[in-house]
Amino acid sequence: MKKVMVHPERCVGCMQCMAACATAHSQTKCLLTAIAETPLPKPRVHVGAGLYGEGFPNRCRHCDPAPCLLACLPGAISRHRDTDTVIINPDICINCASCAMACPFGVIRYHQDMTAAPGKTVAVKCDNCMARQRAGLNPACVEICKSGALTFEEPAAGLKRKTDEVARSVSVCAEGLPSAPGFALLNAVKKAQAGLSKM
């Protein structure tokens, strides 16, 4: 089963995944019209800034066992076995924020959503774009990501690639060569800038 994988070292912080995610979870599925919808569609992936302004597309890891699922008071959170996705049922959710305490990654947000009853604030998070996957599409955040920070692949293949990268990096000739050179440079610049602005 393919899964979304995050490669933080490649994130440039462009936030396109956020816009794509919000659009994918809108009624009209088109950015131009989505921004006029009520409730306003919101992203399930959040690009947070690190200590030096480096980006990181933070999204639900669909943990197993999932702390949010275990902590949910009304039993609104369940696992969809076919896609290995942790989902929140907006009809059962009581907006108690117990899942906010449970999530070690801070990926859950609370707002109105087109999937919930009008006017009802509910817990919202990544659903692995199940609707898009059913239609044969990749998750929206992956589709839009140009830098390779988000990929949709078999976990085994992704792991193999990472292992190979590590293996290459320990060879003597490759010494000092980062696995994603351009991105490492970008982040080094950001770090230096953050350092300068503090002086």
Q: Does 101 bind other proteins (CB under 8 A)?
A: yes
Nearer to other proteins, 59 or 132 (CB): 59
Nearer to other proteins, 65 or 136 (CB): 65
Name the strand (E) or helix (H) holding 84: none
CB 43 within 8 A of CB 19: yes
Name the strand (E) or helix (H) holding 181: helix 181-198
Size of residue set near other proteins by CB under 8 A: 32
Q: Does 75 bind other proteins (CB under 8 A)?
A: yes
Q: Does 71 bind other proteins (CB under 8 A)?
A: yes
Q: Does 139 bind other proteins (CB under 8 A)?
A: no
Q: Does 148 bind other proteins (CB under 8 A)?
A: no
Q: Does 51 bind other proteins (CB under 8 A)?
A: yes
Residues that bind other proteins (CB under 8 A): 8, 46, 48-51, 54-56, 58, 70-71, 73-75, 92, 94-106, 108-110
